[in-house]
Amino acid sequence: MTNPLLVLADHAATWKSRPLDTEVAHHARRALVDWFAALLAGAWREPATLMSAALEDETRGGGGAVCYVSGRRVPVRHAALLNGTASHTVEFDDIYRYAVYHPGCPTIAAALAAAQARGVTMETLLRSLAAGYEVSCRIGRAVQPSHYDFWHTTGTVGTFGAAASVAVLLDCDETRIAHAIATAATMASGLQQAFRGEGMSKPLHPGHAAEAGALAAMSAAKGMTGALDVLHGPAGFAAATSEDTGKWEMALAGIGKPFAITDMTFKNHGCCGHIFAALDAVRDLHLENGFKPEDVESVLIGGYKATKEVCDRPNAMTEQDCRFSAQFTAATMLRHGGVRLVAFTPDRLADPETRALMAKVSVTLDPECAAAFPSKRSAKVTITLKDGRVLNRHQHTRKGDPDAPLSDQDLSDKFLELTSDAVGSAPAKALLAQLWEGSSLPGIVPLVATQARAAE
C-alpha cells in the first residue's frame, strides 16, 4: 500500500510553486470571506473572550499575528487558538460534507496567523489554504463515516489542515511537510460528547487543532520528525478513530479533481448543519402553502443518524443547546422565517410561542437519508395541519451545498450581516472589499461589539 501521508505531503508541497488557478484562488477567497464572517461574529462572545482573559498574561510580549478576540498582535499559536475558537462559536462556518468537517476554522486560523507573522502576500496565503484543505479533507474522507460516531472531525482532522497549511507557508519541503502532518496526528482530539451535552468546549476543538497544527509545522520546519506511518499504521490515526485503518484508496483517488476548497458548503443557517435540510424543507413548505404557525398540528423530521443522535433535543434551553436542537430551530423557522444570529437572543430562546411549537416537532431516523450520508445531507419533513392537510417534502440537499451554492453576493450579504454589529458597518465593508480583491493580508479590526457589551 502506498503511504497516504507521503502522497498528501508531496501534493501539499506543490502548492508553493504551482500556477494558482483563477477558480481555485476565487474559491479560496470565498472560504476566507466566510471564515471572517463567522470569526468576527464569535470574537466578542464566550468562550473565546474567557480564554483570552485566561491567557492575557502570556501575550504581553506581542508578536506578528493578529488575535481578533483581543485586537492585539500576538504569537502565532495564540492567534491560531483564539481565532479558531471564535470562528466556530456561532455555527456559521464552512463544511466539507464528505468528511463531516469544518475545514475553515482550524486551517484558516492557523494559516492566517502564520502568514501575518511572516508578512507574506495574499496569494501565498491562498496557496496554503488550498493545500491545507486538500490534505485534511482527504484524511477526513478516509475515516468517515464511522469516525463521527465518537469524534468531532473539526477537532481531529482539522489538526492536519492547520499543519499542512502552516508548513507550506514556512516553505517546508515535502519531507518536512510529511513530518508536520505526522506530528499533528498525535495531537488530534475532540470528543462528540463535548457538544451532545452542555458546556462551552466545542468551539475549543478547532482552536486547539489550529494551535496544535501550527506547533507541529513550526517544529517540523526546525527538523522535528514524526512517525510517517501514523495515518494508516495498525495503531495509527485511522485505526484508533474509525472502524478500520482507513479508506485511503478512495480518499486519495483523483487528488485535486476537484480540489476540496472548490467543493465547499457555506452555511445558510446559524445552527448545526445536520438540521439544514430539514429547515430548508420547513421553510419551503411554509412559503408554498401559506399556513400560520398556529395552524400546525405536528412536524415530523426524518433524517440521517447525526440528525437524530445529535439534534433531537426537544427540551433545549441554552443558546448552545438550541443551536443543536431540531425542535427549536424548526419552530424558529416557522415563527420567524429564518435561523440567524437573532434566533438565539434571550428573548427568542424564552419565547413561549416558540416553546409551544417545539413540543409539536419530532425527529426520527429515515433509512433512505441515513444510507445517503455523508455524500448527501437530506431530510424528509411531514407537516400536518389542524385542518387535516398533510404536507410532505423530501429535501435532497441543502441550500449552500455545492449543488445548491450560495453566490458571491449571498456570501457578501452574510458577511455584512454577521460582522457589522461586531466591527461597525464601514470597517466591515472595507474588510470585505480587501478579502475579495486585496493583494495584502488583513490586519487588526477593532471590535465595537466588545465595547458596547462592556458598557451594558
pLDDT exceeds 60 at position 390: yes
Dihedral over Cα of 311, 316, 317, 318: its sign: negative
What is the C-alpha separation between 115 and 168, in angstroms, rounded? 10
- Domain locations along the chain: 4-262, 273-395
CB count in 10 Å sphere of residue 428: 22
Nearest to 254 by CA among 406, 111, 98: 98
Label residue 451 by pLDDT band (50, 70, 90). Answer: low
Q: What is the largest CA-CA distance in the chain?
A: 71
Burial of 54 (0-12, 13-18, 19+ CB in 10 A): exposed
**pLDDT for 97:** 96
Q: How far is the CA of 56 from the CAs of 53, 197, 208, 343, in angstroms? A: 5, 29, 17, 32
pLDDT in tens, 226-274: 999 999 999 999 999 999 899 999 999 989 889 999 999 999 999 999 9
**pLDDT for 450:** 59
What is the C-alpha separation between 123 and 223, in angstroms, rounded? 26
**Mean pLDDT, residues 421-440 taken together:** 97
pLDDT exceeds 50 at position 455: no
Which residue has better confidence, 352 or 58? Answer: 352
* H helix count then E strand count, the chain: 23, 6
Is-above-0.75 flag for pTM?
A: yes
Sequence-ordered alpha helix ranges (H) in 22-145:
22-42, 48-54, 76-86, 104-118, 122-143
pLDDT in tens, 160-183: 999 999 999 999 999 999 999 999
**pLDDT for 57:** 85
Cell numbers linked to 207? 482552536
pLDDT in tens, 300-328: 999 999 999 999 999 999 999 999 999 99
pLDDT in tens, 201-227: 999 999 999 999 999 999 999 999 999
- Phi first, then psi: give them for residue 92, nearest 5 degrees: -115, 20
**pLDDT for 197:** 81
**Mean pLDDT, residues 377-394 taken together:** 98
**pLDDT for 350:** 96
Helix axes 158-169, 204-221, angle to 10 degrees: 40
What is the C-alpha separation between 177 and 295, in angstroms, rounded? 59
**Mean pLDDT, residues 97-120 taken together:** 98
- Phi first, then psi: give them for residue 299, nearest 5 degrees: -130, 125
> How much of the chain, in percent, has pLDDT values that exceed 70?
98
Which residue has better confidence, 199 or 407? Answer: 407
**pLDDT for 222:** 98
CB count in 10 Å sphere of residue 310: 19
Which superfamily, per CATH, for 273-395?
Answer: 2-methylcitrate dehydratase PrpD (3.30.1330.120)
| Domain 4-262: assigned CATH number | 1.10.4100.10
405 DSSP assignment: P
Q: Which residues does 34 contact at the CB level (< 8 Å), separation at least 6?
A: 92, 93, 94, 104, 266, 411, 414, 415
- Phi first, then psi: give them for residue 66, nearest 5 degrees: -100, 125
Nearest to 158 by CA among 106, 97, 95, 217: 106
47-54 long-range contacts, CB within 8 A, separation 24+: 47/85, 47/89, 47/200, 47/201, 47/203, 47/204, 48/82, 48/85, 48/86, 48/89, 48/203, 48/207, 49/450, 50/200, 51/81, 51/82, 51/85, 51/204, 51/207, 52/82
- Phi first, then psi: give them for residue 321, nearest 5 degrees: -65, -40
What is the C-alpha separation between 409 and 430, in angstroms, rounded? 15
pLDDT exceeds 60 at position 452: no
